[in-house]
Structures are given as C-alpha cells and as structure tokens.
Amino acid sequence: MSRISNRTVEEVNSKVNMVEIVGEYTRLEKRGTNWWGCCPFHNEKTPSFNIMPEKNVYHCFGCGASGTVISFVMEMEKLSFTEAVESLARKNGIEIIYEGPEQSRKEDGRENIRDLLINLYDRTAGMFHFFLTESKAGEKALAYLKNRAVDDETIRKFKLGFAPGKRNWLHGFLTSKGYSGDFLAASGLFSRRYPSLCVFAGRLIFPIADRKGRIVAFGGRILEGDGPKYINSGDLPQYKKGETLFGFNLALPEIRAKKSIILCEGYMDVLAWHQAGITNAVAPLGTAFTPEQARLAHSFAETAFLCFDTDAAGQKASYSAILLCRKNGMETRILDIKGAGFADCKDPADILKNHGAEALKKVLEMSILDIDYLILNAGASFDLGTPEGKAKACGYVFPYLEVIDSDVLMESVVSRFSTAFGISGRALLADFQKRNQPLRRETAEKEQPVAGRKIKPGAELRAMLATASNMQFFPQVRNEINADDLEDPAARDIFIILEECFRNDSVGFDAVLERCGEDNLRSIIMKAYASGEFSENAEKVITDSIKLIKKNVLEKKKAGLIARIRLAPVSDGSYGGHDVPDMMSQIREIDEKLKDLKDA
C-alpha cells in the first residue's frame, strides 16, 4: 500500500504554521516566544496548552496532550495520519508525494468517505437552496420564512433551502449523477427502511456547517402534514452533533471580537440574532448543550449569554448550561425576554418580528448574571418565608456552588444566596459541605492516576530525552553506546525508537513521536521537548551522560569479572577452564578506560 513520503511529512511539519491551525480551535496569546491557550483536549479555565512556534509542537501541562501539527489535526478533526497530512498539505500548497505501490489508496474507501459526504451535502444544500429561492416548489417554505420576518440576506447567508416534497426525487436525481445505492444508504439523507425516500422531503432545510463553513448535516422543519416538527441529521463520519454548534462558522469572527457567545434554543433564534446584526449567536443541535459544545464556546469566549425558553424545560436547560459554562470558566449571563419588557414574545425571532433589531439589542443589554437568575428562580419556586422553603432554595443552588472553584468567588456567592434566602452564610455553607463530602471523596478516588510505569529521570533517561529532542546527536550516541548498555527501561525504549528512526532515515521529531507506542513514554519525551530543557545544552548533557553510562557499563563488567575470578576453583591449579590471567588483563584494560573517562 502506498504511503505518504517522509519528505512530505517533514515539509508539513516544518512549513505549516501551528499557531494558525490551533488558533482555529482555541484563543491563543503570546507570552515570550511561546503561545498559550486553554487546552482544546480537556476542560480548563486557565491556559496550560503551550505551542513552541520554532519547533512547531504543542504540549499541554494540564492533561499531557502533546504532538505536532499533524497529530493535532488528527485528534481535532478525527482524521487518520494520511488524511491529516493530505489536508494540511493541500491547504498550505505543499506537494504530496506518495511512496510504494500506487493502487489501493483510493480503493481503501474509508479515507475518502468523509470528503465524499461533505461534497454530497454541499451539493444537496445548493439544490435545496435553489428550490427555496428560485422554484415554484419552494414558494410555501419561502412564504413561511417571510412570515417569520427572515430576510433574503439571511436566507442566503445561512443557505436555507427546501427539500422537494416528492420523497423519492432526491434519490433518483443523485443516482442519475452516478452515486451508488450503498453510498446513499449510508449518507444519512434517506430512510433506513425505505432507502429511496428522503427523510427531509417537504421540509424547510437548515444546513449545518462545520467550522470551515462546509455543509456537513441538515436540520429540517416540517411545514405541513404530520411528523416531528424538526428532523436533524444524526452523527455521520463528517459530523458529530454533540460537538457542533449551529451557526458557529458564521459567528466565530464576532465571538472572537466580542469574546462572548450567545447560546440560543434553535435555528430560528440564531437567524434572528444574526439578522439583527448581533452575529455571535449559535445553537446546540437538537440536543441539550453538551460539555464538548461548552468547551468549543469557551475556546473563544469569556462570557456566555444564555437565551433559552422560559418554560420548565427551558429553565432546566438553562441551569445545566450555566453549570457547563461556569465549569469552563465562562462568566454566564441570562437573557430575560419577559424581564426586558417583551411579554408578548416567546423567543428572539418574535422580538425581531414584532419589535425590530433594536429591541433584541436591548434584551442583550438587560441580561442578568446567572447568580441573580438563580435567586429569582428560587424566589419564584419556593416559599422563602418557611424553613422548608429555605432548605429547598439552598438545595436548588447547591449544584451551582459545586462548580465554583475559587474561594473568593465562593465567599461572595454564598453571601449573595444567604442574604436572598434569609439564612446565615455559615448555615448555607455547612449544609452544602455536609451534602457534598461523600461526592468529593468519590471524585477524588476516580481521579487517581492510572497505574503506569514510574519513570525517574536519571542520567540515562536524561541523555535519551536530550537526544530525542536533538536527533542530530544520535549517530554520535549510537557510536558510543547501545541499547543493552542502558539499565533504565524507559531510556532503553527511547534508544530503540531512535535507532528505528535512524535506520529508516526519518530523523524528524514527529517520526520519533509516531513510533512511540506507549502514551506514558510519549508524554515524557514530549514534555522534555516542550520544556525546552535540552534546547541549549543538549550536547553537554549527552556527552556527560554517555560518560556516566559508559562508566557504569565498565564497572559492571569489572564487577562481573572479579566475581568470576573469586568463584574460579584455583585449588587444583587448573582454574577449572577459567582463564584467570586473561580476566585479570581485561580488568586492567577496564581500569585504563575508566581512568581515561575520568580525565576526559
């Protein structure tokens, strides 16, 4: 099977700007020569994700994630190594050279299915948009949008569409264009039971884009007849609904600029905000707001504005979104449509339609902090005049207290709640801690580190880490020592990896990481690389350590020889086949070498 050449891989690693690539996923700030941001791989509030531009590698001091621009793209976009290299090379105008037999790559299928599906969705979205805007078939859908005050520009911007009502039309059309039945069956566009029937037929179509603006899925709203109000694409090779936010690609510039994001309930709300000129609005996709979506939001936003329905379900959704946003360190504010004086409206789309864009801006300005929102809700739900009501109100805010991890913030939050509920702060806190203790213990147990090899960095390991970070010294190292000379198993494993790279003529740091199967080992190699510990003094560390290693080897050999001489049965004068004089001369040689090492 053909593979991408080392040359292409090395060119990608050296030419692609990692700060630019990672910057699409998290907000980066420059400190010194390095860039820092909140880690896209784990939840955190303060940045511990580090990029060293000169080396083009990243390392997270929080979760230990590390690697090159290729591994980053593999992880973030769920691509294979080959796909990641191809995608980066294409985007950066780097020629892709393959090695080995030519066939099989295309036939592999898996590698291309994502691209094919993205292409299919993009094409289909284009057709649906045409049907909505240019054909008689889309008239009703268009009238519905006009009635909801959605203007032409918004329809264009979001590529809204209409799927023709004839349920087998799309299948016939795509088949005539050469798509296979099997491929279409797996595309998510058609019914499982009746593979020629389009599930979105007769519906108003909201195309869902990935962050690059490529259409990867659809949401469809029913216009007439029976059926669920909305049908949304499920997970597909090119789309994970729990990790995607509707409108994110269009909202990103404003989210970056304002460092804030508006999370709303559905497609129509997002449309309304954008049409009103407030373009940092997004929506989860037919699911509750997920931790992955919160992380995505927090990658670029410091403040989250929540704009969910005010019914019971909406309130529950708001509360869990508050917790997720707070967990990610975002300040969280709630939009209160009724409180802002628009009691006749139930959602942003209504406000835009009935009161115009300025009214929506007013709602945003009148947002309240999450803590005030919880106090208002508690007051409305429980009778704070009774001890039972007070206890219930406290129980209601405990989940919120749980996600607060700053003592300062905790103090002021407790003081706000206790004043509002008419109890002492001490009582609130005592109840909270009582309730909380078993839970904390449980999580502490869960977070016990996974058993792994203990690695203590002695001279051997230091030498191998310094060499891994500076492969140009490896030829010299392998001249002086070999893997068996190393006692530390981790150091020996690294030596073997470096030897493999050397023999395969792949001397880049990426090649080293790629061959490193064990996560623990990979992480310490990366950490050493990322810390820059060996960037200046590698040669000295390596020479000094090699001296120590050689000394160690010689002394072990000497000790072995001495032991054998002691054991040699000298009584009959035959030495039992042991050549003691020879062993003695070997020891003298070793002593000479040890002396040389000391003098050098």
In 3-state terms the chain splits into helix, strand, coil percentages (rounded to 5) of: 55, 10, 35
Closer to Zn ion by CB, 34 or 233: give it.
34
Q: Is 60 in the site for Zn ion (CB under 5 A)?
A: yes
Find the shortest distance in angstroms from Cβ 80 to Zn ion: 22
Q: Which helix (H) or strand (E) holds 203?
A: strand 203-209
Find the shortest distance in angstroms from Cβ 325 to Zn ion: 19
Q: Is 38 in the site for Zn ion (CB under 5 A)?
A: no
Closer to Zn ion by CB, 385 or 449: give it.
449
CA distances in angstroms from 487 to 466, 470, 491, 548, listed in the order given: 17, 22, 8, 12
Which of 247, 306, 302 is CA-nearest to residue 279?
Answer: 247
Closer to Zn ion by CB, 61 or 179: give it.
61
Q: Is 63 in the site for Zn ion (CB under 5 A)?
A: yes
Q: What count of Cα atoms within 13 Å lies in the side-chain half-sphere of residue 203?
A: 22
Give the whole-angstrom CA distance, residue 496 versus residue 297. Answer: 42
Amino acid at the residue 376: L
Find the shortest distance in angstroms from Cβ 446 to Zn ion: 18
Q: Which stretch binds Zn ion (CB under 5 A): 57-65, 264-272, 310-318, 472-480?
A: 57-65
Find the shortest distance in angstroms from Cβ 42 to Zn ion: 4
CB 247 within 8 A of CB 281: yes
Closer to Zn ion by CB, 60 or 209: give it.
60
CB 233 within 8 A of CB 218: yes
Which of 92, 37, 86, 97 is CA-nearest to residue 61?
Answer: 37
Q: Is 45 in the site for Zn ion (CB under 5 A)?
A: no
Question: Binding Zn ion by CB under 5 A: which of 12, 38, 39, 306?
Answer: 39
Give the whole-angstrom CA distance, residue 381 versus residue 391. Answer: 12
Amino acid at the residue 447: E
CB 375 within 8 A of CB 417: yes
Q: At what angle do helices 425-446 and 387-403 cross, to 10 degrees?
A: 40
Number of residues that bind Zn ion (CB under 5 A): 7
Find the shortest distance in angstroms from Cβ 26 to Zn ion: 10
Amino acid at the residue 192: R
Place of tokens 């003081």: 415
Q: Reduce the DSSP state of residue 95 to 3 states and report it.
A: coil
Find the shortest distance in angstroms from Cβ 24 to Zn ion: 17
Closer to Zn ion by CB, 39 or 397: give it.
39
Find the shortest distance in angstroms from Cβ 44 to Zn ion: 7
Place of tokens 């502490």: 444
Burial class (CB in 10 A: 0-12, 13-18, 19+), 502: middle
Q: Which helix (H) or strand (E) holds 29?
A: strand 28-31
Give the whole-angstrom CA distance, residue 38 versus residue 363. Answer: 30
Closer to Zn ion by CB, 65 or 208: give it.
65
Which of 51, 119, 78 is CA-nearest to residue 244?
Answer: 78
Find the shortest distance in angstroms from Cβ 329 to Zn ion: 14
Closer to Zn ion by CB, 60 or 541: give it.
60
Residue 288 structure tokens: 């509750």
Question: Binding Zn ion by CB under 5 A: which of 15, 42, 91, 416?
Answer: 42
Find the shortest distance in angstroms from Cβ 513 to Zn ion: 16
Find the shortest distance in angstroms from Cβ 65 to Zn ion: 5
CA distances in angstroms from 556 to 30, 135, 596, listed in the order given: 49, 87, 17
Find the shortest distance in angstroms from Cβ 50 to Zn ion: 10
Closer to Zn ion by CB, 27 or 462: give it.
27
Closer to Zn ion by CB, 452 or 569: give it.
452
Residues 531-560 that bind Zn ion (CB under 5 A): none
Find the shortest distance in angstroms from Cβ 64 to Zn ion: 7
- Minimal CB distance residue for Zn ion: 39
Q: Is 41 in the site for Zn ion (CB under 5 A)?
A: yes
Find the shortest distance in angstroms from Cβ 526 to Zn ion: 12
Enumerate residues 6+ apart whose C-beta is below 8 A from 490: 453, 455, 461, 464, 521, 524
Closer to Zn ion by CB, 40 or 266: give it.
40
Amino acid at the residue 216: V
Closer to Zn ion by CB, 18 or 375: give it.
18
Q: Which stretch binds Zn ion (CB under 5 A): 60-68, 152-160, 165-173, 231-239?
A: 60-68
Q: Which stretch binds Zn ion (CB under 5 A): 64-72, 367-375, 402-410, 497-505?
A: 64-72
Question: Binding Zn ion by CB under 5 A: which of 7, 23, 24, 62?
Answer: 62
Give the whole-angstrom CA distance, residue 60 versus residue 37. Answer: 9
Closer to Zn ion by CB, 67 or 219: give it.
67
Q: Is 28 in the site for Zn ion (CB under 5 A)?
A: no
Closer to Zn ion by CB, 41 or 305: give it.
41
Find the shortest distance in angstroms from Cβ 77 to Zn ion: 17
Residues 459-478 that bind Zn ion (CB under 5 A): none
Closer to Zn ion by CB, 60 or 270: give it.
60
Q: Reduce the DSSP state of residue 462 to 3 states and report it.
A: helix
Q: Which stretch binds Zn ion (CB under 5 A): 54-62, 332-340, 493-501, 531-539?
A: 54-62
Closer to Zn ion by CB, 51 or 142: give it.
51
Q: Which stretch binds Zn ion (CB under 5 A): 55-63, 110-118, 455-463, 548-556?
A: 55-63
Q: Could you tell me the sign of the dihedral formed by the alpha carbons of 307, 308, 309, 310, in that order?
A: negative
Find the shortest distance in angstroms from Cβ 49 to Zn ion: 6
Residue 5 structure tokens: 């050449």
Residue 144 burial (CB count, 10 A): 15
CB 4 within 8 A of CB 96: yes
Q: How would you list the strands of the sheet with 368-369, edge to edge? A: 281-282, 260-264, 303-307, 331-334, 368-369
Q: Give the residues lining the site for Zn ion (CB under 5 A).
A: 39, 41-42, 60, 62-63, 65
